[in-house]
Structure 1
Amino acid sequence: MAEKENIQEVQLEKFKSEETELTVFLLNGFQMKGKIVNFDDKVVVLDIQGKENLIYKHAISTFVEAEEATGKE
């Protein structure tokens, strides 16, 4: 049986490798804007203005590319 592709890991790796500027929406409504530097099965490390922030995945609601979050085209 073929191994299933982990969509979450594929998308996070794409954001990381392309250094995509993201807005991360947390479950408490807080927003964080930055780039993914690393991730594993429990956390995402987001670079925000040169500082690394560790965010637990269970606290994340949504990832949106920064341009989409602000409505810019």
Structure 2
Amino acid sequence: MNTETPSAGDLLVRIGGIVSLVGAVATLATVAPLFLGTTPLPAPAYFVCMLMGAGFALAAAGVVRTARAQRRAAEGA
């Protein structure tokens, strides 16, 4: 069991990880037909692949938010 209190950016990091994972799975599903010689997926499937970068950006924003909150707490103490 985790006894730490959740910090400011934990939720953003978790959401970013999930969104990035969805984008990674979409990327694998989109690239696989190109290697297998089957018909490629339609264009909207390629747009879902962009979630991988968006998830990374969300997670990075959560890390920055946590770091800033820790810095403010350290300065206040």
Q: TM-score, normalised by structure 2?
A: 0.28
Return the structure number with greater strand share.
1
Which structure has more helix as a fraction of its residues?
2
Choose between structure 1 and 2 for higher RCO, CA contacts under 8 A separated by at least 6 residues: 2
